[in-house]
Structures are given as C-alpha cells and as structure tokens.
C-alpha cells in the first residue's frame, strides 16, 4: 500500500525567503504525486501534480516540485514566499489498488510566514 510522509509539522519562514516543504512517499511503481494547499476555513486547492515526464513540475502561485525517484521524494519549493502563502500544505500519492484508484494524503505541513 502507498504511504506519504511529511516530516515537518510546522515551518516558519520570513517573507521573501525561499521555501522547501518535504514529502517522501512509499509505492512500488511510479506514483501519481500531488501537492495541495488549504487556507484556513477553505477546501483544498491543487498546486501541482506529477505523473510522468519532466521531473521538475511547475504549478500555480509560483510553486514547483521535483520528483526524485532515488530518494522517493517530491519536495515543494518556492523561491520567494509571500504572506498570502501562509496555509497548510498536503502532499498526496495516488495509486491503483485492487482495481481502484486511490489517493493517500500526508499529515500536512503548516506554513507560517513572518514579516
């Protein structure tokens, strides 16, 4: 079965600083990988996704993520964080299981942005 680990529960960065959120997955085959953002009181919004091809994926709001098969990682990055990026970020892995397509989410990383 697939699993996702987000080792950082909470991260604080200064506005304008770079950001990297870590995500490690476990799955036997090539996974489908996603990053979602959840602002307070809101539903989730897809930032980006990876299925195949170029391992560096560009998303919305200036985010990017890099798939590294050797490290089973799919870290999310942003070169310069804005105060509006404060939110909770979820990494997810999708896989085919028992004839169904399923998704498993990580526990999330809360991002705090300080002036």
Partner 1 sequence: DSGVTQTPKHLITATGQRVTLRCSPRSGDLSVYWYQQSLDQGLQFLIHYYNGEERAKGNILERFSAQQFPDLHSELNLSSLELGDSALYFCASSVGVSGGFHTDTQYFGPGTRLTVL
Judged by CB under 8 A, how many residues of this single chain contact partner 1? 20
Joined tokens for residue 13:
């960065």
Rule CB under 8 A: choose which of 24, 76, 87, 108 binds partner 1.
108
Q: According to the 3-state scheme, what is the secondary structure of the chain?
A: CCEEECCCCEEEEECCCCEEECCEEECCCCCEEEEEEECCCCCEEEEEEECCCCCEEECHHHCEEEEEHHHCEEEEEECCCCHHHCEEEEEEEEEEECCEEEEEECCCEEEEEEC
Q: Which of 2, 24, 104, 109 binds partner 1 (CB under 8 A)?
A: 104
Pick out residues in 14-53 that bind partner 1 (CB under 8 A). 32, 41-46, 49, 51
The nearest distance, CB 89 to partner 1, in angstroms, is: 12
* Least separation in angstroms between CB 81 and partner 1: 23
List the x/- string, 63-102, binding to partner 1 by CB under 8 A. ---------------------------x---x-----xxx
């Amino acid at each position: 079965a697939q699993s996702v680990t987000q080792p950082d529960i909470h991260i604080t960065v200064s506005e304008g600083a770079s950001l990297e959120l870590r995500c490690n997955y476990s799955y036997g085959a090539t996974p489908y990988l996603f990053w979602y953002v959840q602002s307070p009181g809101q539903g989730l919004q897809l930032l980006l996704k990876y299925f195949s091809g170029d391992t560096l994926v560009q998303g919305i709001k200036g985010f990017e993520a890099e798939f590294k098969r050797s490290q089973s990682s799919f870290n999310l990055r942003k070169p310069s964080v804005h105060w509006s990026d404060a939110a909770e970020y979820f990494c997810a892995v999708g896989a085919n299981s028992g004839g169904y397509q399923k998704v498993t989410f990580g526990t999330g990383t809360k991002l705090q942005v300080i002036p």
